[in-house]
Structure 1
Amino acid sequence: MVRINDTTLRDGEQAPFVAFNTKEKIEIAQLLFEAGTDEIEVGIPAMGKKEREDIKEIVSLKLPIPLMTWNRATMSDLESSLDCGVNSVDLSIPTSDVLINVKYKGDKAKLLKNLEQVILSAKKENLIVCIGGEDSSRANIDFLKEVFIMGAELGVDRFRYCDTVGILTPMQTFKNILELKKLNLLEIEMHTHNDFGMATANAIAGIEAGATSVNTTVIGLGERAGNASFEQVLMSLTHQFNEHRKIDATMLTKLVNKVSIAANKPIDDNLPIVGAHIFSHESGIHTNAMMKNTSSYEAFCPEEVGLFRNYPIGKHSGTSTLDYHLSSFGIHASKRKLTSLLPKIREIVTMRKQVLEPFELRELYLCS
């Protein structure tokens, strides 16, 4: 199975105006495990004492999955991670010429020497080591291959391919990952950003090309436009890749709501997988079909993600919707009468910009 490494507690918290407290971090970590993540990136130890204390609190939960920290490829960052007691580290390096010039004044030899030293030290501590290729999508492919070769020789476990500024399309992502996968040197982890609205699509494209791990954040929380969504990737792996994952709808709902509240980020009603209205069917043609077969216009059942199906009485509703709601009151409606009500319902809904409640429909029907 593809490994989900969720980074809500690291990259998710780097979203502007977001700050989790210790209690929230602990609760989110526990819920992430119970909702089905395979690994958790828990934070950045080099941020300081308080961050390390929070990470230690999460480590003390003794969750039966790897806990990873994010680090620059420096000995001081690694030592901070070792102090926290985690078993996995991401060692981040800039890989594009733009960022290598900014952070290393263009000195790739120095960058690789630093990386080698930190990798060797991390492997001596028996840590799982991931090289984080910051800005991989703008990097020279030959330099990435050089990093892959060195990493494989040093016993690195995987390479995190980062579309740091979210510039890729799914097709280009697929081609790039396939090219690196052909080296057959390191496992590849996808880390995608949503600047053009393609984070989850690019993450999935990378998996299709052979990536075996993927970074996610709950509700796509993250820097700028955010990251690939945990709940979207989880459901994609389950339904589109046919992975045998047990999704606990209750825990997923608790996780999504917890992150939404802690981040002060409301969940859009039409957010894929978890939006409150994504199982609402108003169109008369759709509703009529759904009442005959619920798979007509749904990719998966609402119960899987803790939601429910709804047939709002709106401008586009047909007689099937009206009959459905009236029957719940024990009213056996006349098709002719229902048809005659539709223009009035459309007028009301359009005027007040709000659907009818079932009790309003009942009154309208009985008074007509």
Structure 2
Amino acid sequence: MEQRVLLCDTTLRDGEQAPGVEFDRPEKEKIARALVEAGIDELEVGVPAMGEEEAKRISQLVALKLPVRLITWNRVVLEDLAASYRTGVEGVAISLPVSEQQIKHKLRKDRAWLLEQMGRCVRDAKKEAGYIVLGLEDASRADIAFLKEIIKEAQKLGVDRIRFADTLGIMEPLSIFFKLQDLTREADIPLEFHAHNDLGMATANSLAAVQAGFKALSVTVGGLGERAGNAALEEVAVALKYTLKQEVRLDLKRLNSLGSLVSSLANRQVPRAKPIIGGDVFTHTSSIHIDGIQKDFANYETFPPESVGRKHSTAFGKHTKYKNVVWLLKSKGIDCNQDKADELLRKTLAKIEQLERPLEEDEILGIVLSS
């Protein structure tokens, strides 16, 4: 049986790197508990090296003894790792820049130094942590031969998982598939893909990574994260199940409440057209679509909204037809003849023109009651 893809949530780390977002201790706990109750596989909970307050919040999450692995993010620096060990966290992610751009112009070092420092940090972590993720920052711009060299060395050192990060979100699904498929042939340990959404391809790229043989995906609730954000947990989970037909441990019915919780605590409104959790994504307005779902919801929906904690709805716009109004009234148990339906349609279209927007079902029913 094919191994299930792990969903590794980093809302409490990379998500909190979104501009203006900061979660206090109770908020971190609420998000962590909600994700665990939904069935997440792993939580990346922060960066202890940021300071005492951040480390304290992480220690408090560790003290909850949640039934899921908690890991922290660290630079390839021994002092960072020491701060993580003090929190009591089970796992550590050690991130090292691997592109020539970042090795030379960020670290101002060379490949030999990086490999030596990687070895030093991993050997240290092996003594103190129960699980080690080696994060390859800016891997999408790195030399493929150097990536293979790192993978081989990481395996010798006993790393548990390797994370390939498309740090700038510049890759596309076809290049992801072919490049990452080449890497999976070199790896005897699980590979994880960490996508950024700068060009709007984070979910597609994450699926391509799975098709290339990757066994773990890094996600955040609502795609919250640095710049344009990360691969969205809700999009990736639903696409894994309904597009790739893969087993998903996550309770998809909790996705909507998760999105609402995180957007509220982050003080960021969910866009109305946001896939899965947006306000409009299960609302039909076109008369053709409304007619289609009257006959069979599968005409215009690939999966039932109830499966992700949502419901069908309709909104009536300027293209609303007579039969759409009749259907709405009948669905609410309201009898009507043709004259009544014609009159309601006329008033509905007039109201739509006045407000310059579609009307929700309740607004149309209000017109019925006022007639």
Aligned pair 1:5/2:8, yes or no? Answer: yes
Aligned pair 1:107/2:110, yes or no? Answer: yes
Q: Which amino acid in the other structure matches residue 203 of structure 2?
A: T
Summarize deviations over 1:257-298 as a string: whole Å, max 9, x none.
121011111011111011121111111121112112112111
- The range that moved more, 16-25 or 117-126, is 117-126
Identity between Structure 1 and Structure 2 (%): 42
Alignment check: 8 A CA contact 2:255 2:277 kept = no
Tell me, in whole angstroms, the C-alpha distance in 1 between the residues paired with 2:204 and 2:119: 33
Aligned pair 1:143/2:107, yes or no? Answer: no
Which position in structure 1 is the counterpart of 2:335? Answer: 332
The alpha carbon displacement at 1:185 in A equals: 3.3
Tell me, in whole angstroms, the C-alpha distance in 2 between the residues paired with 1:68 and 1:329: 51
Tell me, in whole angstroms, the C-alpha distance in 2 between the residues paired with 1:164 and 1:59: 28
Alignment of 1:206-355 (within 5 A): 206-245=209-248, 247-248=250-251, 251-328=254-331, 330-334=333-337, 338=341, 342=345, 345-355=348-358
Q: Which amino acid in the other structure matches residue 53 of structure 1?
A: K
The alpha carbon displacement at 1:317 in A equals: 2.3
Task: Evaluate the alpha carbon distance shift between residue 271 and residue 287 of structure 1 in structure 2; reply closer, same or farther with a 3 A threshold.
Answer: same
Tell me, in whole angstroms, the C-alpha distance in 2 between the residues paired with 1:366 and 1:297: 30
- The range that moved more, 97-106 or 259-268, is 97-106
TM-score by length of 1: 0.93
Alignment of 1:169-188 (within 5 A): 169-188=172-191
Alignment of 1:66-81 (within 5 A): 66-81=69-84
Q: Which amino acid in the other structure matches residue 8 of structure 1?
A: T
Structure 1 unaligned blocks of 5 or more: none
Summarize deviations over 1:148-197 as a string: whole Å, max 9, x none.
11001111112111110111111111111111012133321010111111
Indicate the SS of the match to 2:218: strand
Summarize deviations over 1:96-123 as a string: whole Å, max 9, x none.
1111012332421111111101111112
Alignment check: 8 A CA contact 2:164 2:193 kept = yes
Summarize deviations over 1:205-261 as a string: whole Å, max 9, x none.
111111100100100000000000011111122222333435546643332112101
Aligned pair 1:21/2:21, yes or no? Answer: no
- The range that moved more, 278-287 or 320-329, is 320-329
Indicate the SS of the match to 1:311: strand
Alignment check: 8 A CA contact 1:279 1:308 kept = yes
Tell me, in whole angstroms, the C-alpha distance in 2 between the residues paired with 1:129 and 1:96: 21
Which position in structure 1 is the counterpart of 2:46? Answer: 43
Indicate the SS of the match to 1:291: helix
Q: Which amino acid in the other structure matches residue 140 of structure 1?
A: D
Aligned pair 1:85/2:88, yes or no? Answer: yes
TM-score by length of 2: 0.92
Q: Which amino acid in the other structure matches residue 272 of structure 1?
A: P
The alpha carbon displacement at 1:126 in A equals: 4.8
CA-based RMSD of the aligned residues comes to: 2.2
Which position in structure 1 is the counterpart of 2:57? Answer: 54
Q: Which amino acid in the other structure matches residue 56 of structure 1?
A: S
Alignment check: 8 A CA contact 2:192 2:215 kept = yes
Task: Evaluate the alpha carbon distance shift between residue 184 and residue 309 of structure 1 in structure 2; reply closer, same or farther with a 3 A threshold.
Answer: same
Task: Evaluate the alpha carbon distance shift between residue 102 and residue 270 of structure 1 in structure 2; reply closer, same or farther with a 3 A threshold.
Answer: same
